[in-house]
Every structure is written in C-alpha cells, then in structure tokens.
Amino acid sequence: MNLSLVDPFILAQDIPEALIARLRSSGNSVCIRFNHQGDLLASGTSKGGIAIFDLETNGVARKLRGHTPGRQISSLSWSASGRYLLSAAVDWRCILWDLQDGSRLRTINLGAPVFCAELHPDNHLQCIAALYEEQPVMTDMTTNTPKTTPLTSIPKRSSYDEEGHSDKAAAKDAKHFTSTALFHPSGKYIITGTTKGWLNIISTTTAETIYSLRLSPKPIVQLRLSDSGTSLLTNSADTIIRTLRLPDLNSPTFTADTLNLVVEHKFQDVVNRLSWNAIAFSPSSDYVMASTLMNHDIYIWERGHGSLVKILEGPREELGSIDWHPVRPCVAATGVESGRIYLWSVNTPQRWSALAPDFAEVEENVEYVEEEGEFDILEAGEVERRREGGEGEAVDVLTIDIKEKNAKGAKTEAFRMPVLLDIDASDSEDDMVAIGAGQYRRRSHGDIQDADEPGTNGAGVNGKKR
C-alpha cells in the first residue's frame, strides 16, 4: 500500500539526492555492507563490535561480539542467503556468524592481521582472506578444524618477458603481498590486487595464477565487482579509479590464453588530485562512486561517458567506507570522526490521491461538515452481512512468506533474521570495560558516561580514570 503513495517517476531515479538519515549504534563504525536482499546493513566498529541495522526502522536489530575488544573490524561479507556473515579484524581472526541465533559458527585464527575476507558466493563455509605482510589464503570451514590453502601474490609473467625470469625480478616478486581479494560470482576464480599494483586472477580449484596485469605503480587498495561479474572496479594509491570489462569467466569456452583485460575508464580529480577512501558500483553497474580522503563529499560518475554526474554533500567530516544499496537508489557511508553511518537517498513525497481520488491538500485548516448518516452506528443485520462478505475473517499477521527469485527466475526461500526483542541483552563490546592488560568486566549500571565520548578522557562518573 505504501508503494502506491510514491511517485513512480521518483522510483525510477538511479542516483540518490539528499542526506535522509543518520544511524548510530555503540562504537565508531569503520566498515559497512548491505546484504544481498537489501533489508539489513552490517556495521563493524573500531572496537571490534558488529551491529546489524534493520533498514525498515533504521534501528539496531542485533549486536555481535566475538573479536578482541579494541581491535578494529576490517571487513564484512554476507552469504547469498543473508543468514551468514563473515567478519574479519586486525586481531588475526575471521568469524562466521549464524544470524538465526547470533552464534559463532566458525572462528579462524590466520596468524596475521586480516586486510579483508570474503565468503564464496555459493558456499558459506569457504572464504578467502588477504593478510598483512603474508600471502593470501583460501579456507575451507566444512569441518570444525578449518583447512587453509595458501595462495600466491606473485604475478604470472609471459614466457616472452625476459625481465620476469631474471634474478632481479625474482627478488622483486618476493616482496609482493596481496592487499585485497574477492571471489568472482561464478566461484571458480579469485581476483586479487597486490601492493605492487598487479591484478591477479587465480583458479579456485588449482590455486594457481592464470592471468596477471600491471595496473598501477602504486598498491591496489580495493576491488569491487558488479553483480553480474562483467565489470571490475579498482582503487589504487595513485589517486586513479579504474574500470575493466571482464569476459564471461563461467563460459565453458573460456580459456586463460585468450584473456586480455583492458582498462575501460579512469576516474580521477585532475584539479585537486584527491585520493579515494572507498569505491562501489551501483546495482546496475552504470555508475561508480567513491568517498574522498580528507574531504566530506561522495563523487558519482556515469560509466557510459566517464563523466561526473553528482557530488553528494553531507556532514562536514571525512567519509570512509561506503556501499550502494542492492536495489534502491540509496548510499551508505561512515563518518571518520564521529563514527556515524549516513544514508543518502531520493526524496519521496507521498501522493495520497493515489488512494483517495478526491484528496486535496489545503494550506489552512478547514472545518469539515459531515454528511447525513456518515458516522451512524450500523444495524446488527448490516454488520452480519459485512462479515459474510469477508470482513470478519481472521488475518495472519505473524507468518512471513519470504520468497525471492534466483538467477534463473525461479522463486526460492530466503532468510529473514529473527527479531531480537531484548536488544540490551545481546552481547556487545560496549558492555565490557577494560580493567587491566587483557582483563575485562561487564559494564555496570553505575557506568553512566561512556569512556569514548569526547571530553571524558576515559573517566567514569566519579572522575577517576578507568
């Protein structure tokens, strides 16, 4: 019914226009990710906590605590169904959460701080991770004892490349580390970016690099793929955002020998030479957006001509992690200073005339004169006749019929996270207070003032530092 109140021309818009909401849970948000259905937003904080926001109410639906308090969450990844969430942090661990009850399904210690981790598109018990000054790994979590397969960061060079077979080149290749990694939607390949600016495509089955391309002289900071897997977006430390067209890697006729990737567009600020914090595709991959370093704007480019079409202005603070809603023209970003989550979308004024053709807006209050018999009490016979017409039937408002269409167009059951009514009873990093090296206690009701609030300097209500 509410959809009828919205102008259809507004629903057809592709780009958000204005800041519409500010979300805040406990802790400073540093990374965010929409689930594939678009009804939930996961947020990782600088203190190791995770909050799940319900986008229908903009409220916190669940809090998750399992990483070491005080260690920042580095990345979040949703499973295709939306039931499982993989979180990675600088405490060397990746945790697979089951949102059916908020439990920790698997916990993996990778032995190094984790740059990013991502779930397999079809198997939530398999993931890849890029580690700090270590080689990337692919992990199988089918059993309680995860099996880790190391991957390489060294690019594959052509047999005609004489420099690639020299001792000097071998010494340089030993310094290659993977800074970002993700799965192709087919699940058959892994795409990684290195600290030397190389792009590698690795086979999932053989764990060997089948193709490499030198993109930038500086490290590749972030990679994003379109939902179809035909477009790749890269963010490098050389202040240039690049888009590349990918062939159909899932095609049975695909061979790595014929693969030749070419940069399609380069997006940059040639005037101010701005650097970019994070990048993202629009749902249709027709637009590219990026948050700026030491700036409070979000730039949106159109891919067809490579032109800048919109600059989203919002709070007067630098914006960090960003993500585009998978269905709506809605963009989310984190504030670096405040830790809040900001939402941009289109203004949707309601059209009540869609439900009541005689509806009219008035500038001033008008006295309403009721018609004769308009509010009269109905006779007993009339009530019974209306009940027989179906008005008295019981309506089930508790059962939710959740169905979505898969890639083949068939309807499949989707996951809906159960509502946690007592959100205060959920585990949260803000319920714990450090009392010593590696020692914590649960926050009491007397701890009124949060140690993270500006001006407290970690002092409690009695003014003494914890």
119-129: average pLDDT: 95
Return the SS3 of 164: helix
In this structure, of 139-148, 244-253, 366-375, the range with the lowest mean pLDDT score is 366-375
CB 429 within 8 A of CB 65: yes
Q: What pLDDT score was predicted for residue 281?
A: 95
In this structure, of 258-267, 270-279, 315-324, 444-453, the range with the lowest mean pLDDT score is 444-453
Of 388 and 113, which is predicted with more confidence? 113
Q: pLDDT, tens digit, for every residue of 224-255?
A: 999 889 999 999 999 999 999 999 888 888 88
Side chain identity, residue 454: P
| Tokens matching residue 19 | 């800041």
Instruction: For residues 116 and 31, give the distance between their C-alpha atoms in angstroms, rounded to a whole number.
Output: 11
Look up tokens 């892994």; give the residue: 190
Cα 438 to Cα 426, 433, 441: the distances in Å are: 22, 11, 10
Q: What pLDDT score was predicted for residue 451?
A: 38
Instruction: For residues 436 and 441, give the distance between their C-alpha atoms in angstroms, rounded to a whole number.
Output: 10
Average pLDDT, the chain: 81
Q: What pLDDT score was predicted for residue 383?
A: 65
Q: pLDDT, tens digit, for every residue of 79-110?
A: 999 999 999 999 999 999 999 888 999 999 99
263-268: average pLDDT: 93
With a cut of 50, say whether residue 28 has pLDDT above it: yes
Helix (H), strand (E), coil (C) string for 346-380: CCCCECHHHCCCCCCCCCCCCCCCCCCCCCCCCCH
Neighbour order of strands in the sheet with 276-281: 276-281, 287-292, 297-302, 307-313
| Tokens matching residue 287 | 């637009």
Q: What pLDDT score was predicted for residue 425?
A: 45
Computed on alpha carbons and rounded to an integer, the radius of gyration of the chain in Å comes to 26
Instruction: For residues 152 and 208, give the distance between their C-alpha atoms in angstroms, rounded to a whole number.
Output: 8
Q: What pLDDT score was predicted for residue 299?
A: 95
46-61: average pLDDT: 90
With a cut of 80, say whether residue 13 has pLDDT above it: no
323-348: average pLDDT: 92
Side chain identity, residue 191: I
With a cut of 60, say whether residue 111 has pLDDT above it: yes
The backbone torsions φ and ψ at residue 401, rounded to the nearest 5 degrees and listed phi first, read -95, 100
Return the SS3 of 213: strand
Look up tokens 């930038």; give the residue: 216
Q: What pLDDT score was predicted for residue 429?
A: 40
Instruction: For residues 150 and 87, give the distance between their C-alpha atoms in angstroms, rounded to a whole number.
Output: 20
DSSP H/E element including 119: strand 114-119
Instruction: For residues 154 and 208, give the distance between their C-alpha atoms in angstroms, rounded to a whole number.
Output: 10
Instruction: For residues 124 and 85, give the distance between their C-alpha atoms in angstroms, rounded to a whole number.
Output: 9
Instruction: For residues 174 and 164, give the distance between their C-alpha atoms in angstroms, rounded to a whole number.
Output: 12
Q: How confident is the model at residue 453 (pLDDT cuts 50, 70, 90)?
A: very low
Cα 248 to Cα 78, 79, 138, 186, 253: the distances in Å are: 23, 22, 23, 9, 9
358, 411, 349, 383: which is closest to 18 by C-alpha?
Answer: 349
Side chain identity, residue 358: D
436-443: average pLDDT: 45
Of 174 and 332, which is predicted with more confidence? 332
Q: How confident is the model at residue 461 (pLDDT cuts 50, 70, 90)?
A: very low
With a cut of 60, say whether residue 112 has pLDDT above it: yes
Instruction: For residues 324 and 227, give the distance between their C-alpha atoms in angstroms, rounded to a whole number.
Output: 12
